[in-house]
């Protein structure tokens, strides 16, 4: 008996994780606008700078991987 199902590869799981990170990032950006500054924790300038660098690296890696995944699996031509 043949079962008709789609077998997921490891790239598919990584894609789902990257999309989840992207969705939560957008949720944080939206929710952050509604929280007053007095309720936020005070942070040192060096920690803010580290957070920006780490966040930028994660964002670039996630963005490149999502673009690569869409280009390979759906034959999207980004550079035409």
Q: Kindly list the averaged pLDDT for each block of 10 residues, start to end, along the chain of length 80.
A: 57 85 88 79 83 89 86 67
For the chain, helix, strand, coil in percent to 5 are 70, 0, 30
| pTM score above 0.85 | no
Cα 16 to the chain's mean position, in Å? 9
pLDDT number for residue 70: 80
């Amino acid at each position: 008996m043949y079962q008709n199902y789609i077998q997921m590869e490891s790239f598919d799981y990584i894609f789902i994780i990257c999309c989840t990170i992207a969705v939560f990032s957008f949720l944080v950006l939206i929710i952050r606008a509604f929280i007053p500054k007095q309720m936020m924790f005070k942070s040192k300038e060096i920690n803010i700078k580290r957070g920006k660098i780490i966040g930028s690296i994660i964002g670039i890696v996630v963005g490149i991987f999502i673009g690569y995944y869409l280009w390979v699996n759906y034959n999207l031509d980004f550079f035409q």
